[in-house]
Amino acid sequence: MNIFKPDVVIAIGGGSVMDAAKAMRLFYENPEMSFEEAYQKFLDIRKRVVRFPKINGVQLVCIPTTSGTGSEVSPIAIISDAKTGIKHTLCDYALTPDVSIVDDQFVQTLPKRLIAWSGFESLGHAIESYVSTMATDFTRGWSLEAIKTIFANLKKSYDGDLDARKQMHDAATIAGMAYSNAFLGLEHSIAHTVGSTFDIPSGVSDAIALPQVIRFNSKRPEKLAMWPHYSVYRAESDYADIARAIGLTGSSDDELVEKLVQKIIDLAESVGIKMAYKGYGVDKAEFDKKVDELAVEAYGDQNTVTNPSAPLISQIVQLMKDCYEGKGIVDNK
Ligand SMILES: [Fe+2]
């Protein structure tokens, strides 16, 4: 970029390609900004201590070729530190692309397994943004629309239906719009840390963590998340709303949440996802050795801040172990 001096950067590819383009544009325009500065954590994106400089020279156009990350509309770039292997979340509205082109011709020949994985990445975005402490009535509409579309179309798209694939492509961006404003939660913190450490594709690690985190969040929390707009715990009834929106019925919120969890598990299994980390060649001894450290990392992950239940590190350790074993999923069958 320094040699060519572009006016426009066009990123065409999956999430990593678009994230790389965002970071490249940021550091190209602001060579004095350091990577360490860029990934500093914050409570509220709109009241950050480290401010990103405005980007005004180079336009960024994003064209997604998978239907999952939502990066084409998000203010987020996930960049791994090559030295430590830690995935850092760079997040500031200065990173948002100027234009995104969401065209399903780029996903018509997507391999089946990528359809499954990226579909679950979108579902994770849509569900987590719906219950996030920063969700509002403006963002919940997007989250819910994406959730309904994904449940109605993921299996069909996986089986080769091209119209369903278009719907999935749009849903991924709609979910991206939701989480760009409402952000995510603990499922992402766990999926990022475990997934990057043990090389599990991100949509798969999202799928595995999703039911466990929903069950965890739907229990009245020991510690309420620290967020002024979220003074009253409502995650359980939010999950129940999601269940109703996709046509599930039940006589209590409790029952609806468990039905939603089962529906997620069934959908994942119908598209070939194994719902435990141990199903992806993760060695038990290695996992046990690293789990404490991973839980600390997940606790500090930017996504944990907006989770409706503030977890203790010991609870994250337990959740990660449950994800490893597929607790309440694999042993049910
Ligand atoms: Fe994600």
Q: Are residues 137 and 98 in the same domain?
A: no
- Report yes or no on 174 lying in a domain: yes
User: Are residues 153 and 274 both part of a single domain?
Assistant: yes
CA of residue 24 relative to chain centroid, distance: 22
Same domain, 118 and 48: no
CA of 261 to the centre of ligand 1 (A): 19
Question: What is the residue type of 255?
Answer: E
Domain boundary among 102, 118, 150: 102
Three-state DSSP string of 162-216: HHHHHHHHHHHHHHHHHHHHHCCCHHHHHHHHHHHHHCCCHHHHHHHHHHHHHHH
The per-residue b/e assignment along 9-29, b for 16 or more CB within 10 angstroms, e otherwise, is: bebebbbbbbbbbbbbbbebb
Same domain, yes or no, for 162 and 305? yes
pLDDT tens figures, 250-297: 999 999 999 999 999 999 999 999 999 999 999 999 999 999 999 999
The answer, yes or no, to whether residue 330 has pLDDT greater than 90, is: no
- In this structure, the answer to whether residues 175 and 311 fall within a common structural domain is yes
What six digits make up the tokens of 181?
Answer: 């404003």
C-beta of residue 135 within 8 angstroms of C-beta of residue 129: yes
Centroid of ligand 1 to alpha carbon of 70 (angstroms): 8
328: left (phi over 0), alpha (psi -120 to 50) or beta: left
Cα(200) to ligand 1 centroid in Å equals 13
Domain annotation covers residue 3: no
CATH number assigned to the domain comprising residue 111: 1.20.1090.10
**CA 285 – ligand 1 centroid, Å:** 27
Question: What pLDDT score was predicted for residue 81?
Answer: 86
Domain of residue 77: give its range.
Answer: 8-102
Q: What's the number of domains the chain is made of?
A: 2
Q: Position of tokens 């050795």?
A: 289
Structure tokens at 192: 């990022």
Mean pLDDT of the chain: 93
Average pLDDT over residues 25-47: 86
How many angstroms is it from 5 CA to the middle of ligand 1?
31
- Asked if residue 118 and residue 52 are part of one domain, the reply reads no
Same domain? For 70 and 195 the reply is: no
Q: What mean pLDDT do residues 169-175 have?
A: 98
How many angstroms separate the Cα of 19 from the Cα of each of 123, 170, 224, 332?
Answer: 20, 19, 32, 38
Q: Quick one: pLDDT band at residue 126, thresholds 50, 70, 90?
A: very high
Based on the domain organization, do 110 and 98 belong to the same domain? no
- Residue 204 included in any domain: yes
Tell me the CA–centroid distance for residue 124 and ligand 1, in Å: 7
Rounded to the nearest whole angstrom, what is the distance from the C-alpha of residue 69 to the centroid of ligand 1? 6
Identify whether residues 54 and 84 lie together within a single domain.
Answer: yes
Of 51, 78, 102, the residue that ends a domain is 102
Q: Is 332 part of any domain? A: no
Neighbouring C-beta atoms of residue 319, cutoff 10 Å: 23
What is the whole-number distance in angstroms between the Cα of residue 121 and the centre of ligand 1? 5
For residue 188, how far is its CA from the centre of ligand 1 (angstroms)? Answer: 6
Give the CA radius of gyration of the chain.
Answer: 19
Sign of CA dihedral 123, 76, 301, 274: positive
pLDDT confidence bin for 35, thresholds 50/70/90 = confident
Note whether residue 13 is domain-resident.
Answer: yes
Q: What's the confidence (pLDDT) of residue 332?
A: 56
Q: For residue 2, report the distance from its CA to the centre of ligand 1, in Å.
A: 30
Q: 150: which residues sit within 8 A by CB, 6+ positions away?
A: 119, 122, 123, 126, 168, 171, 175
Is 225 found in the same domain as 118? yes
- Which pLDDT tens digit goes with each residue over 147-159? 999 999 999 999 9
122 C-alpha to ligand 1 centroid (Å): 7
Distance 90 CA to ligand 1 centre (A): 13
- Amino acid identity, position 13: G
Q: How far apart are CA 275 and CA 136, in angstroms?
A: 31
pLDDT at 50: 78
Flag whether 65 is in a domain: yes
**How many angstroms separate the alpha carbon of residue 126 from the centre of ligand 1?**
10
Residue 3 Cα, ligand 1 centroid: separation in angstroms? 33
Burial grade of 70 (CB within 10 A; 0-12, 13-18, 19 or more): buried
Pair (79, 115) in one structural domain: no
pLDDT tens for each residue of 111-122: 999 999 999 999
Residue 68 alpha carbon to ligand 1 centre in Å? 8
- CATH number of the domain enclosing 52: 3.40.50.1970
For residues 156 and 74, give the distance between their C-alpha atoms in angstroms, rounded to a whole number. Answer: 27
Give the tens place of pLDDT for each residue, 203-233.
Answer: 999 999 999 999 999 998 887 777 777 888 9
Q: How confident is the model at residue 39 (pLDDT cuts 50, 70, 90)?
A: confident
> Do 142 and 78 lie in a common domain?
no
* Distance in Å, CA 118 to ligand 1 centroid: 9
Residue 1 in domain: no
Answer whether residue 327 shows pLDDT above 80. Answer: yes
- Domain assignment present for residue 18? The answer is yes
